[in-house]
Amino acid sequence: MIAMPSTESQVVRKLQDGVLNVHKEAGWTSHDVVARIRGKLRGVKLGHAGTLDPAATGVLPLLLGRGTRIAEYLLEWDKTYLAELRLGEATDTQDATGTVLRRVSTDSLNEARLREVVARFQGPIQQIPPMYSAVKVGGVPLYKSARAGKDVMRQAREVTVYRLDIVNITFPRVMLRVTCSKGTYIRTLCADIGEQLGTGGHMAALVRERVGPLVLEQALTVGEVESRLAQGTLEASVLTLDEALVGLPMCTVGAGTARRVLHGMPVPGSEVLGWDGVPTACSDGASRAIRIKDEAGRLLAIGTLPAGLGMQGSRADELPIAVSKVLVTDESQGSSIANSIEE
């Protein structure tokens, strides 16, 4: 086996657990990106959060080391896309890779009508997942049923389009910028707009411009990742776990409680030294993830605030915080506790 140059070996050893903002280029699958970089970062556990189709480009969060343990929280991030809607052509996949099912003239369309219809899709909306998707019905991914020629009944799901702007209009093509919640299918959004306009439509192109705090302008192509690795500068581009999770509320615990946290033991609210962003975190009756830190500011774990917090007068100091993910090593025992807590 050929050894890596010393600079690359040293950089790999120094790489911290975290998130790398990668610019996925056209033609690559998300798995291709992970596999290529894994080949360079031998010994570093890798994963990604939020798959992009091969034809799509843009931000792909790459998870390094214990960053793979926070994927479920990163998937909660809202996202911004730039999409090209091609009106007048409906396809079976709702994008440009599919077979055209019908063509309709767009000669009667005008900007006022387009804006009136697009405005209907801002806010909470109902979406039926496309047949060509990884959503499972009866334990079977929809795309497998689609490839077998089956049309499966799907339940509509609520997603939220926080912002929907028309960037450019050159009929039959319309450029849209969409900021949305997790689970939103942009190709379904394009197809649904086309249906409401009476012309049909599909997503002709897609760029993911932002995922949470990660923006396309700061993303590195695979080539740039490899170049910075060779130069010994890649570490500066990695977002720490704490930086990646900055949107979560936080609590601080003392040394004794911190040691118990590293063994997955729950944190009594009365032992929390300080709270940040917590009082209204669960006021809607849903449980919430929370960062648990020690007094030095080190991120120890991710916990779960109970659903009752903020409801019927319940206070944070009256309710225990369950430890969901331990993110550091128990240095006193010289071994990692991180994998001992159930996923």
CATH of the domain at 307: 2.30.130.10
Task: Answer yes or no: is 1 within a domain.
Answer: no
Task: Answer yes or no: is 137 within a domain.
Answer: yes
pLDDT > 70: what percent of the chain?
A: 86
Residues 194 and 181 in one domain: yes
Task: Answer yes or no: is 162 within a domain.
Answer: yes
Domain span including residue 62: 6-76+213-240
> What is the four-CA torsion angle of 42, 46, 51, 56, rounded to 10 degrees?
-40
Q: What angle (nearest 5°) sits at the alpha carbon of residue 131, between those of residues 126 and 134?
A: 90
Residues 87 and 194 in one domain: yes
312-328: per-residue pLDDT in tens?
Answer: 445 556 678 999 999 98
pTM of the model: 0.86
Residues 85 and 188 in one domain: yes
Task: Answer yes or no: is 15 within a domain.
Answer: yes
Residues 112 and 139 in one domain: yes
Residues 72 and 217 in one domain: yes
Return left, alpha or beta for 3; rule: phi > 0 is left, psi -120 to 50 is alpha, else beta. beta
Residues 100 and 149 in one domain: yes
Q: Is 192 considered catalytic here? A: no
Task: Answer yes or no: is 109 within a domain.
Answer: yes
CATH value at residue 140? 3.30.2350.10
Measured CA to CA, the distance from residue 180 to residue 39 in angstroms comes to 33
Task: Answer yes or no: is 90 within a domain.
Answer: yes
Residues 234 and 253 in one domain: no
Domain count of the chain?
A: 3
Please check the confidence at residue 188 and state whether its pLDDT lies above 90. Answer: yes
Residues 104 and 201 in one domain: yes
Residues 229 and 268 in one domain: no
Q: Which of 53, 78, 92, 242 is catalytic?
A: 53
Q: Which residues of 28-67 are buried (b: 16+ CB within 10 A; e: fewer)?
A: bebeebbeebeebbeeeebbbbbebbeebbbbbbbbbbbb
Residues 217 and 206 in one domain: no
Residues 32 and 116 in one domain: no
220-241: per-residue pLDDT in tens?
Answer: 999 999 999 999 999 999 999 9
158-167, 168-177, 260-269, 306-315, range with the lowest pLDDT:
306-315
Measured CA to CA, the distance from residue 310 to residue 319 in angstroms comes to 10
Please check the confidence at residue 211 and state whether its pLDDT lies above 60. Answer: yes
290-311: per-residue pLDDT in tens?
Answer: 999 999 999 999 999 877 554 4
Residue 308 is predicted with a pLDDT of 58
Domain closes at, from 240, 258, 280: 240
Residues 125 and 35 in one domain: no
